Amino acid sequence: MTLDEIKKQFVEQVKLRAYDDKYIDKGEEREILQLALQHGITVDSARAALAQVCEANGYVLESRVLADIKQSLEVAAGNDGKIDEKEYKDAVALLKIKCNNKKNDIQCRRMVCELIDEIGFKTSTGWFSNWFTAEKKAVGL
């Protein structure tokens, strides 16, 4: 099966999975990539083709959005090595925009908290409180 045939299948798989919300989450992306692997396409080629298909059809690819948010957090942490509450809120707002509002506020806040923990960024704290601990508790982490 050629890469063009795989792209055609991607279009169909993407339309099938993102029919209602135009959003491909990590689980759906994994399923689509496994389909490509079964046809002998490398992961990198399949990922690039999937990104192309999503971009051409106006679908949001969660992994691409999270990579953008990660980059934004890295820039924010670059000046003092920590993420402060404003930088966190900016990342949440950017995530909501990049997701085309397909995720609600709690989901976006949770995703950014998970990303901060996953990467291991330090967060700034106040004199008597820790906003990040309170935020994680508020989103159920």
- Identify the helix (H) or strand (E) that includes residue 101: none
Residue that is written with structure tokens 């692997």 in the block: 37
Q: Strand, helix or coil at 24?
A: strand
Tens-digit pLDDT profile for residues 55-74: 888 888 999 999 999 999 99
Tens-digit pLDDT profile for residues 80-129: 888 999 999 999 999 999 998 888 899 999 999 999 999 888 888 877 77
Degrees to nearest 5, angle at CA 102 with 97 and 107: 90
pTM of the model: 0.81
Residues 96/23, Cβ–Cβ less than 8 Å: no
